[in-house]
Amino acid sequence: MDILAYLSDPVTVGFLQATTRLAIPIMLAALGGMFAERAGVLNIGLEGTMLSGAFVGFAVAFASGNLWLGVIGGMVAGAVIGLILAFYTVRLSSNQVVVGIAINLLMVGVTSYAFRALFGTGTNAPRVTPFPAIDIPLLHQIPLLGPLLFQQGALVYVALLLIPAAWIVVSRMAIGTAITAVGEHPAAAETLGISVNGIRTLCLVVSGLLAGLGGAFLSLSATGLFLDNMTAGRGYIALAILLLGRRNPWGVLAAALLFGGADAFQLRGQNLGIGVPYQFLVMLPYLLTVIVLIGFAEKVRDPAALGQPFQRHKAE
């Protein structure tokens, strides 16, 4: 078989492009979750944060006619959810899992109600024109990497640039060291003059910004519309990607592409008529999530203080 011809085949090119498009939202949410978990906060609310970003991003873009304003709106919505999560988990030391699940359930109802309040209940769903694909000169012709990375919309390129930026922050900057210290030993970090609550609040806001961007990607770049519960569990998949990627930005990217590939495969499998019931194909990304959780949950070392509320007076 001619490998070059196979990689240039329109079906293969379409599969690779879809892999990246489907990987980006969960990659962004996982990247946000990475900051929160490195600081010791378990952000179960990624699903609800993505959903709020998808709705607000779509509503702002539809009202203003500007997709980039929609992107900013989605990120701001995510940051607000991050602040709410910080208020309960950092300020009030509430159970992080319970607060996260409550946010997820609340956002399903809030976004569904707000969408109907703003756009009505007609059968014609409002739409915006999503970001068009932009081919990067010369690079888009590279077999395999071209369709995977260099034939995408503008928001994909922005998301991919966030990977090295996040790596620099967590691995090469003082703030990254402070985040790690807070996640590993918050009492010791506090004695060194690091504000544990301040770092955790900042990380949750950054987590919300990135997860909100992931949600805005779904409505403004992947589909051009908003649907009830359109995140469809991607926030939970992002938590599995965190484990598989070992809370490292490059690992998160690789794990997200793996899940994006599984999602793209199940979508194409439904159209190719391969004889497998579509219900089983739809299960594929979620089945992969379960396998990852079973196989890696015990093997990946968590930050020592992950999930543990920090109370300042106990550290003094």
Convert the pLDDT of each residue in 69-82 to its tens digit.
999 999 999 999 99
CA distance 5 to 190: 59
Instruction: Report percent pLDDT > 90 for the chain.
Output: 59
Give the chain as a DSSP string: --HHHHHHSHHHHHHHHHHHHHHHHHHHHHHHHHHHHHTT---TTHHHHHHHHHHHHHHHHHHHS-HHHHHHHHHHHHHHHHHHHHIIIIIS---HHHHHHHHHHHHHHHHHHHHHHHH-S-SS----PPPPEEEPTTGGGSTTHHHHHSEEEHHHHHHHHHHHHHHHHHHHSHHHHHHHHHHH-HHHHHHTT--HHHHHHHHHHHHHHHHHHHHHHIIIIIISS--TTTTTTHHHHHHHHHHHTTT-HHHHHHHHHHHHHHHHHHHHHHHHT-SS-HHHHHHHHHHHHHHHHHHHTTTSPPPTTTT----HHHH-
Instruction: Report percent pLDDT > 70 for the chain.
Output: 94
The pLDDT score that the predictor gives to residue 1 is 55
Q: Would the pLDDT of 196 be above 70?
A: yes
pLDDT confidence bin for 225, thresholds 50/70/90: very high
Pick the residue with more confidence: 13 or 206?
Answer: 206
50: nearest Cα among 32, 68, 66, 65:
32
pTM to 2 decimals?
A: 0.90
Across 282-289, average pLDDT: 78
238-277 residue pLDDT tens: 998 888 888 999 999 998 988 888 888 877 776 666 677 7
Give Cα 277 to chain centroid, integer Å. 29
Tokens coding 258 = 């793996």
pLDDT confidence bin for 118, thresholds 50/70/90: very high
CA distance 63 to 57: 10
